[in-house]
Amino acid sequence: MPRSVIVSVAYHKVSGAGTITCRNMENEIEISTDYNKIMLENITGPVTVRALYGSVDAVFTGNIKGPVSIASIYATVDVSIPADTKANVRLSSEHGSILASADLKIEMEKNENSDMISYGNLVNGKLNGGGIPFKLMADYGKIYLRKNK
């Protein structure tokens, strides 16, 4: 399939139905599923992914085009991005953990009502001065934001 094709997948029927994989894509990807694991490899975005019970693994390369919104309600979200990505990040996990590579140097936004920075279940900040909207959510799972190797 051509690298520049727009991909839209919605699959909400069978549990344990396998993995949805997109590789080497340079255009918009939109996926909504209930039970599938999602693998995105060598992509640039924009990306909108919603998974109910499946995990989402994404590896971005090159200049990321936004917006990026990746959510898995009951599983892990694991995303790798280039170190020079310019983004406004919002990471949230109500009952899980948020882990980000120290190499990414997220500039945290301060709470307007306090001079404290919260590192709990919500991270708002900027990468490299800010840029594209970049939202990751996993209500009952972990979020990993990694630097590409």
Peptide bond into 133 cis (omega under 30): no
Task: Give residue 149's pLDDT.
Answer: 76
Q: How confident is the model at residue 69 (pLDDT cuts 50, 70, 90)?
A: very high
> Average pLDDT in the 133-144 region?
95
Higher pLDDT, 110 or 130: 130
* pLDDT(28) > 70: yes
Half-sphere exposure of 61 (CA within 13 A, CB side): 9
Instruction: Assess contact for 109 and 44: CB atoms under 8 A.
Output: no
Instruction: Assess contact for 137 and 92: CB atoms under 8 A.
Output: yes
Task: Record the pTM.
Answer: 0.88
Domain boundaries, the chain: 7-147
Instruction: For 40-65, write each residue's pLDDT tens digit.
Output: 999 998 999 999 999 999 999 988 99
